[in-house]
Structure 1
């Protein structure tokens, strides 16, 4: 079974790929190129909002933030779908406030190109719609830690060490894949955090079943959900 965990990176997208050949990390310029290489994958978990709201905030973002407690700031609120047509932060902020009642954070605006790319891809391609599933790496790491969010930021050495230890137990070969990716790509193109997040989603993608927030929704058909592994 081929599964992928996908995260945005400064130069496009980075994916942890687990298949019959083992585990590896690959970088792609765009989602179309990634899909061309892995259209046979059974599950592709991606760290980007997929089901964008027409109005209001997504219940899945609120639920994910509640699960993460003190680490809630790791979950950015998804923009309203109308924001995809914005040409500037000022316009995006105004559109989001009009449709949701809230301004758009700078962090959410910074990932807007990736959100827009995935939204257009899924609008144009029917086949991947039930296989490309929104996930969040911090929910994965919390699940691997027994339901307890990792307290240290992934931007710190302590945070990276904690997450690598969790991955070591959940995803055989993750150390070699991580080190291989750091050796293959410049940090300006693929950061350490991007690789960790992609591998966390890869580990989750190997699970037989996944939980979803909000509870009771099917992540395969309901786009406004966030999937994550069953806590250990």
Structure 2
């Protein structure tokens, strides 16, 4: 079964694929490009919010994820509501979010709204044969690390290496793949952290073949568009 781990990057999306125990990669500017190139893709773990808050639905899953990550809870940000995601600019998005959810949104949240919107729109057309699950790299690292949170910051050399070594201890072929990606794309297009995150999502997705899918589920379950809100790991 062909699966993938996907993270956003300056170019668009960095994708780590696994098919018949072989890893490969590609970078695409649009998610739809991936689907066109890999129509046989069966299941995706992607680091992007899926299922959005609205006037009649409020995501609660961020609170559960923060509890899971303890001292690394700050890596979890709260996404904008759907109407704010579709806003024309940051000021409009802030005002909409205040009206709908009673609070503003961070610039970090707004900056990723374009990618959130892209996946939200894709859900309107996606085939039921393709499973797409929201996932989070630090949650995945935790459970690949024997359920222990990695406390170092990924932005530091130590934190990066700790995570990278964990990945290649579980799948040694990822080391060569990582270096292949970094030699193909400059950091301005695909950052090392983006590659690391896509890899851990793919590996976590792969481990689910034997351990079954596990989820952190939202207390309110389903958003206004009928999308289940849950984090796969």
Q: TM-score, normalised by structure 2?
A: 0.90
Counterpart position of 2:229: 224
Matched, 1:191 2:191: yes
Segments of 5+ residues of structure 1 without an aligned counterpart are none
Runs of 4 or more above 4 Å deviation: 215-218
CA contact (8 A) 2:60 2:218 kept: no
Structural mapping, 1:106-145, within 5 Å: 106-127=107-128, 131-145=131-145
Matched, 1:213 2:211: no
Counterpart position of 2:95: 94
Q: TM-score, normalised by structure 1?
A: 0.91
Equivalent residue of 1:70, what SS?
helix
Segments of 5+ residues of structure 2 without an aligned counterpart are none
CA contact (8 A) 2:144 2:204 kept: no
Cα distance between partner residues in 2 of 1:210 and 1:191? 28
Cα distance between partner residues in 2 of 1:200 and 1:132? 16
Cα distance between partner residues in 2 of 1:26 and 1:199? 12
Counterpart position of 2:42: 42
Count of residue correspondences: 225
CA contact (8 A) 2:52 2:58 kept: no
Worse overlay, 83-92 or 108-117: 83-92
Cα distance between partner residues in 1 of 2:80 and 2:11? 22
Cα distance between partner residues in 1 of 2:172 and 2:131? 23
Bigger share in strand: 2
Partner deviation per Cα, 1:14-58 (whole Å, 9 max, x = no partner): 000111371122100100101112221221110000101114641
